[in-house]
Amino acid sequence: MRGPHNIIRLIRTGATLERTGAMKVVLDAFEAPRLVRMVLRGVVWPFQWLGEKGDPNMPAATRALTALGPAYIKFGQVLSTRPDVVGDDLAVQLRVLQDKLPPFPTERAKEAIREELGRPVREVFSDFSEPVAAASIAQVHKATLCETGEQVAVKVLRPGIERAFSRDIDAFYFAADVIEFLSPASRRLRPRDVIAHFEGVVKGELDLRLESASASEFAANTGNDEGFRLPEINWAFSGRRVMTMSWAEGLPLGDNDALDAAGHDRDALGERVLQLFLSHALRDGFFHADMHQGNLKVAANGDIIAYDFGIMGHIDEYTRRVYAEILFGFIQRDYQRVAEVHFEAGYVPADRDVDEFARALRAVGEPIFGMDASQISMGRLLNYLFDVTERFGMETRTELILLQRTMVVVEGVARSLSPRLNIWQVAKPIVEDYIRKSIGPRAFLRDGRRTLAVLARFGPRLPGLVEAALIRQSEGPPAPPVPKKSWWWVLSMLVGAVIGAAVVELGWLF
């Protein structure tokens, strides 16, 4: 990590926010206290000349994040789905970051396609449009295949995106180190692990072969989901920096006026988005982890079409069961069971009091269930849970970061379609169905069959394994090997001793 480089990068971040006017917008959106405003702006103001100007035609927040680079844009995309957190005005501004960023020249895209596929664009596509959508990592062109005449979407990575993203992540790591140094209490949140998780997830977006594979697996899992479909990947014309898929025609899920004009039921769409996400996460353990409005369309028949599979989430079966039990416990208002699940999974240190933890969870859940449907928020619940778990010494679970973040994003999307959506009522049938199939007697028998199948595979080897273990136990631990001292090893030790003596002598002189 290059300290001076990262210090300058973070200073420029604050300077860019101040220079573009985004600092005030962000502080207003988060209702920052006056003292915080004075300190932040007082520190940043002398350095604002170091900040990026950005595109003056854009709103302040969008202008600042676009100028700062891809990692900051990703952060803005998440906030764009949370009008209940940042306010309606800022959410609308940030929504531009989803798929309406300035594109790079079409000729650069054609050059990338030629290098990746080994053929000129005119030999592959009879028609190749200007960019139809541009996001932080890549942009999309509409094209027609020469061989079949099929209309396709061609996704091409931005030039130099790998280096730009690496620079931002480098600065984030430095910021995490500074936070851990200045605030030891923050170490339980494992900020470096959080950044490492974020880095691993987004780096998957920088290899479109991985995205193609994710799309293929996702399609296999969701083929029978009613009201949901995905574009088909064309493997022959896809590679590391280029991905070709069938064209998805539909209305943007974020355009409520267009959806209303077309006669779509926005309440039903909001419910379906949330239920689809929960089904994919709990049933399959493999879910679309970037489900903002820019990655979702509505077909003429009302089907939801998802695309952009660069960020996909995966959770193992055990974690799914834990997460489902926690959700189900909150839905049933069974706070004692929610507390027990946290302890059973090792999420809360065993030396803490489970009954006291259950009472703290009740203090989180009951006020939320007493709210009007439009005020009930998964984001609010997660914020309250964060406060409670901090008090009880729970560490950040990096394997749940992406799941929790996506849950907040999906809730924001669903709420933008149907403001009075009651997330608990919508989630209840999905969670109940998973609990019934995965934690009941049938699941117990299925797990038993799987265990027996594994043991059966090792059956022929079991006598030998047992005999070897008994022999090792009777003989005791093996003696550590004695390293061989070669002539170069002896010489290096002598040289080291001479250098050490010289350093000691010089130390006495100075």
The token pair that represents 452 in the structure block: 């027996």
In order of 190, 300, 332, 357, 411, the CA distances from 380 in angstroms are 22, 34, 18, 19, 11
Q: How far apart are alpha carbons 384 and 360 in whole angstroms? A: 10
**Nearest C-alpha neighbor of 225 from the set 437, 439, 432, 430:** 430
Q: How far apart are alpha carbons 73 and 76 in whole angstroms? A: 5
**Annotated catalytic residue within 84, 99, 170, 290:** 290
Contact residues for 317 (Cβ-Cβ < 8 A; gap 6+): 285, 438
- The DSSP output letter for 240 is S
Contact residues for 330 (Cβ-Cβ < 8 A; gap 6+): 338, 365, 381, 424
Hey, what amino acid is at 390? E
Question: What's CA 398's distance to the chain center, in Å?
Answer: 10
Helix axes 161-182, 3-19, angle to 10 degrees: 100
Backbone angles phi, psi at 394, to 5 degrees: -75, 130
Q: How far apart are alpha carbons 371 and 398 in whole angstroms? A: 30
- The DSSP output letter for 284 is I
Q: Catalytic residue at 290?
A: yes
DSSP string, 400-449: HHHHHHHHHHHHHHHHHH-TT--HHHHHHHHHHHHHHHHTSHHHHHHHHH
Per the listing, tokens 């917008």 go with 25
3-state DSSP helix/strand/coil percent for the chain, to nearest 5? 65, 10, 25
In order of 117, 139, 158, the CA distances from 132 in angstroms are 21, 8, 14
User: Catalytic site residues?
Assistant: 290
